[in-house]
A and B are shown apart, each in its own frame.
Chain A
Amino acid sequence: EAAVTQSPRSKVAVTGGKVTLSCHQTNNHDYMYWYRQDTGHGLRLIHYSYVADSTEKGDIPDGYKASRPSQENFSLILELASLSQTAVYFCASSDPGQGGEVFFGKGTRLTVV
């Protein structure tokens, strides 16, 4: 079964600190995505990637970097965490050649204090 694993599942970070969220997929999918969800709101795309060693900006990339060192792994990096980045972060993968269904990880709850 298609699987996307996120780590950590929750994290408390201090303002100004560096945070790295990791994502690993075993779906053999080319596309990977990072979304954030704020309480009561929908998903917003931060960064995505369609091939290893390359990333693309999504709709809200400011304050975030992404890294895709391999097809299976996709990280989201907050170099200087801010209070406004408190949210739930979802990683996902898809393959347009397989119908494009998106498979999501279980999410990471990030609290910046």
Chain B
Amino acid sequence: GDSVTQKEGLVTLTEGLPVMLNCTYQTIYSNAFLFWYVHYLNESPRLLLKSSTDNKRTEHQGFHATLHKSSSSFHLQKSSAQLSDSALYYCALSTYKVIFGKGTHLHVLP
């Protein structure tokens, strides 16, 4: 069945350093959508990025990701981390329903 893997449970880095959160997925459906959601403490998860186009970079709020169907990956990146980026980040796959990964805590230190 479909699955999403986020290997890192916690990523801790210093403000100003680049961010990369890994996401890989498995599906038999060629027209799947991949998403990144951000979940701040005491709020609801909200959409950060989405893509269904192979090898096309998607950007929003300083974050970017490129869907690579050949490697089944959709890694989230940012060139310079900010303290306000500290949150829980979910990768998600949508085919006939949505599946979320377990999430990666990003903790940005001053």
Size of interface on B: residues with Cβ below 8 Å to A? 23
Q: Does B69 contact A (CB under 8 A)?
A: no
Q: Does B25 contact A (CB under 8 A)?
A: no
Once bound together, how far apart are the Cα atoms of A35 and B44, in whole Å? 11
Interface string of B74-107 (1 = CB under 8 A from A): 0000000000000010101011111011110100
Q: A42-B90, A99-B33, A102-B37 are in contact. Are A90 and B44 (CB under 8 A)?
A: yes
Interface residues of A in 78-113 (CB under 8 A from B): 90, 94, 96, 99-102, 104-107
Residue from A45, A104, A107 having most chain B Cβ neighbours under 10 A? A104
Q: Is B100 within 8 A of A42, CB to CB?
A: yes
Q: Is B47 within 8 A of A96, CB to CB?
A: no
Q: Does A74 contact B (CB under 8 A)?
A: no
Contacts of B44 in A (CB 8 A): 90, 104-107
Residue from B90, B94, B102 having most chain A Cβ neighbours under 10 A? B94
Q: Does B50 contact A (CB under 8 A)?
A: yes
Q: Does A34 contact B (CB under 8 A)?
A: no
User: What is the distance, in angstroms, from B76's C-beta to the closest C-beta of chain A?
Assistant: 15
Q: Is A42 within 8 A of B102, CB to CB?
A: yes
A-B pair count, CB < 8 Å, reads: 57
Q: A33-B98, A94-B98, A105-B44 are in contact. Are A100 and B33 (CB under 8 A)?
A: yes
Q: A43-B90, A43-B103 are in contact. Are A100 and B45 (CB under 8 A)?
A: no
Q: Is A96 within 8 A of B96, CB to CB?
A: yes
Once bound together, how far apart are the Cα atoms of A107 and B44, in whole Å? 7
Q: A42-B88, A105-B44, A107-B44 are in contact. Are A99 and B100 (CB under 8 A)?
A: no
Q: Is B98 within 8 A of A99, CB to CB?
A: no
Q: Does A64 contact B (CB under 8 A)?
A: no
Contacts of A33 in B (CB 8 A): 98
Nearest residue (CB) in A for B101 is: A42
Contacts of B45 in A (CB 8 A): 43, 90, 102, 104
Q: Which 6 A-B pairs have the closest CB atoms?
A: A100-B94, A42-B103, A104-B44, A100-B33, A42-B102, A102-B98
